[in-house]
Structure 1
Amino acid sequence: MMITGIFFALGAGLLWGMIFVGPLLVPDYPGVLQSAGRYVSFGLIALPMAWYDRHRLKRLQRQDWLEAVKLSLVGNLIYYTCLSSSIQRTGAPISTMIIGTLPVLLAVSANVAYGRDEGKLPWGRLSPALLLIATGLVCVNAAELRQNVQPFDLWRYLSGIALALIAVVCWTWYPLRNARWLRRHACHKPTTWATAQGLATLPLAAVAYGVICLAMGFTHQAFPLPFGPRPMVFVPLMIAIGLLCSWLGAFCWNEASQRLPTVLVGPLIVFETLAGLTYTFLLRQAWPPLLSLTGIACLIIGVAYAVSIKPEQVEKIVSL
């Protein structure tokens, strides 16, 4: 069961890694428009699947649908808006490496929130992992700044870093909350919950897309709406990301979350970071520089070390 869960986490990471190259393929599209487009696509893809799964969806209660809306808003729309905008401002490797802190952040958050139930990771042994990941971030940032041939815009760079940090907060909250719901509702299939989130996302994303188009009509009059200057690239890209990254990626992650302890699920999100870096350098058709490779190695070693730490069970004191 645990091995199967790890393979599902690997599949989710390989699929989610694609989201780091999407904004690079359509750099002339604002991140907010890409985010709304992706999740409109996700919601539309979920509609036929919802009809097929309608009997299981009917079993979800009102509070379950409210939870799906919260998860969709924070983990989908806000997260991807911040991430895609950050990638366009700082470059994919820097944003990817900031997101790369998620494995340890999730482990620490799960440690604090759920350690009493599932076992705590010793804080002293986590410190070397945190230091290695911080070192990796510094290395990749330095390598990207060294290779930057464009005039350096400090505000654009810092705003990109800030957006990436917001994305990290969103995706620290989302997987933990999602995993706890799945573990507490083991009677529901991960496919059903992925489809439910797609349905919850659709109205939010559709309204967001309409508002963005309306705003851009006043501020970006040269930008053709509703599908931008390259609709034959933008629309298929949104469909591909909506199907592979959103629905199929969510399905794989839900399967992993239902099979693995929360404190282990967090570190396994490193597969997304490594896949994102791999796809980015393949798109560039260039081998990462030594400094970037050093940073990536620090990330891998740090997370591998964190995963190897055995949770310690907390003794519960029962009052007589």
Structure 2
Amino acid sequence: MNTSAHPFTLGVFFAVFATLCWGSNFIVPYVTGNYSIFDFLAVKFMIVGVIGVVWMIVDRTNVRELTLPMQTVALTLGAIGYLGYSVCIACGVKISGPVLTPAFIAVVPVMLALLGNAQNKILAWRKLALPLSMLVFGLLLINIFANDTPLASQGAAVFGVFFSVCAVAFWLAFSVLNQKGLSKIPAHSTSAWTGLMMVGSALGMLLMMPLGWAFNLFEMPSQGASFANAGGLYVWAFLIAILSSVLGAWAWNKSSRCLPMVLSGQLIALESLFATLFGLLFEQRLPTQYEVLGMTAVLAGAVLAIRMLFASHEMGRDKLSAS
């Protein structure tokens, strides 16, 4: 085996596995049974919170090294990036099916790269016209024909877009603030930071539960919480909690040590692809021609934009090094 290629191959494997794990977030509306997505998310984030508490106890030395303001930031980021993002994804998929919301999420790595370009002016905006046009075309194609999909109804696409845009906003805010937070803490405190975010997502759900109760968003009081009634819900919630909040983060951190940012940025788009495939599998149908064309345009535009932005960034670094 070529040892020099081994880290690269391993990095790609872990990146694909991470996006596969994250894609499980999008199947929530299909595995709730007689319960609501809010019942499911409540159970899921209580599980995530318990794992986070155990995580913090094991890593309590590093937790103590974080100041109270930084601990508060980590808890808040958990509520934003874990809970808020998951709620918007579940609502988006529930309303508009398995294609629209994943298509919007594919735009997230591009938006992050564009934010970096806006700050550092790595690449002229006119050079990004083609990939950005592909993204817009793909999203419009999916949106215009959203009402032709089996799950869609008149006007539902508007709400699907709303929750999808909110999911993008939550994840962008989380990504930017999390990056700033991590830059202010020691590298060995990263694990403690992750545990705090997991606990923060559970605390956020506890704060939201009275509101959900007031609006009758929970079915568990009427359906029952025994394992005989809700066993499937508990099993799926545990599985998705482990996949999305533990294994996904672990695998992505492993891949980040082996892959250049330009490639890892492109591979994030696989999350949208896996999410769509999972949804279509649960719906037991093939994608429509418009969904195929739209999703292909979105993914191709995302990959092209990320490649162009990071290639220009690397060229700029090389010029600086040479000078």
TM-score (norm 2): 0.81
Corresponding residue number in structure 2 for 1:287: 286
Structure 2 contact 91–160 (Cα < 8 Å) conserved: yes
Q: In the TM superposition, what is the alpha-carbon distance from 1:27 to its structure 2 partner? A: 6.5
**SS of residue matched to 2:200:** helix
**SS of residue matched to 2:269:** helix
Alpha-carbon separation, structure 2, partners of 1:157 and 1:134: 16
Q: Equivalent residues in 2 for 1:223-234 (5 A)? A: 223-224=222-223, 230-234=229-233
Structure 2 contact 138–295 (Cα < 8 Å) conserved: yes
Corresponding residue number in structure 2 for 1:162: 162
Q: In the TM superposition, what is the alpha-carbon distance from 1:95 to its structure 2 partner? A: 1.4
Structure 1 contact 96–277 (Cα < 8 Å) conserved: yes
Relative distance call for 1:206 and 1:26 in structure 2 (3 A) is same
Corresponding residue number in structure 2 for 1:84: 90
**Are 2:195 and 1:195 equivalent residues in the alignment?**
yes
TM-score (norm 1): 0.81
**SS of residue matched to 1:188:** helix
Relative distance call for 1:221 and 1:16 in structure 2 (3 A) is closer
Q: Equivalent residues in 2 for 1:99-178 (5 A)? A: 99-113=105-119, 115=120, 120-148=122-150, 152-154=153-155, 156-178=156-178
Structure 1 contact 183–258 (Cα < 8 Å) conserved: no
Relative distance call for 1:248 and 1:125 in structure 2 (3 A) is same
Q: Equivalent residues in 2 for 1:27-46 (5 A)? A: 29-46=35-52
**SS of residue matched to 1:311:** helix
Structure 2 contact 18–249 (Cα < 8 Å) conserved: yes
CA deviation digits over 1:160-205, x for unaligned, max 9?
2211111111111112322343345352254333222112223222
Give the partner amino acid of 2:43: G
Alpha-carbon separation, structure 1, partners of 2:96 and 2:163: 10
Q: In the TM superposition, what is the alpha-carbon distance from 1:5 to its structure 2 partner? A: 5.8
What is the aligned-residue identity percentage?
A: 22
Q: Equivalent residues in 2 for 1:68-79 (5 A)? A: 68-79=74-85
Alpha-carbon separation, structure 1, partners of 2:24 and 2:86: 12
Aligned length: 309
| Unaligned 5+ runs, structure 1 | none
Q: In the TM superposition, what is the alpha-carbon distance from 1:270 to its structure 2 partner? A: 0.8
Corresponding residue number in structure 1 for 2:59: 53
**SS of residue matched to 2:187:** coil
Structure 2 contact 135–297 (Cα < 8 Å) conserved: yes
Relative distance call for 1:110 and 1:6 in structure 2 (3 A) is farther
Give the partner amino acid of 1:124: R
Relative distance call for 1:2 and 1:185 in structure 2 (3 A) is farther
Alpha-carbon separation, structure 1, partners of 2:227 and 2:136: 38
Q: Equivalent residues in 2 for 1:234-273 (5 A)? A: 234-254=233-253, 267-273=266-272
Relative distance call for 1:146 and 1:229 in structure 2 (3 A) is farther
Q: Which region of structure 1 is more displaced relative to structure 2, 54-63 or 84-93?
A: 54-63
CA deviation digits over 1:35-69, x for unaligned, max 9?
33322211112222222222222222212212112
Corresponding residue number in structure 2 for 1:181: 181
Corresponding residue number in structure 1 for 2:3: none
Q: Which region of structure 1 is more displaced relative to structure 2, 72-81 or 225-234?
A: 225-234
**SS of residue matched to 1:216:** coil
Relative distance call for 1:257 and 1:91 in structure 2 (3 A) is same
Alpha-carbon separation, structure 1, partners of 2:214 and 2:37: 16
Alpha-carbon separation, structure 2, partners of 1:215 and 1:291: 36
Alpha-carbon separation, structure 2, partners of 1:177 and 1:135: 30
Corresponding residue number in structure 2 for 1:276: 275
CA deviation digits over 1:80-113, x for unaligned, max 9?
2122112111112111112222121121123235
RMSD of aligned Cα (Å): 3.3
**SS of residue matched to 1:92:** coil
Alpha-carbon separation, structure 1, partners of 2:214 and 2:247: 31
Corresponding residue number in structure 1 for 2:305: 306
**SS of residue matched to 2:223:** coil
Give the counterpart of 1:14 among 20, 29, 52: 20
Alpha-carbon separation, structure 2, partners of 1:230 and 1:11: 32
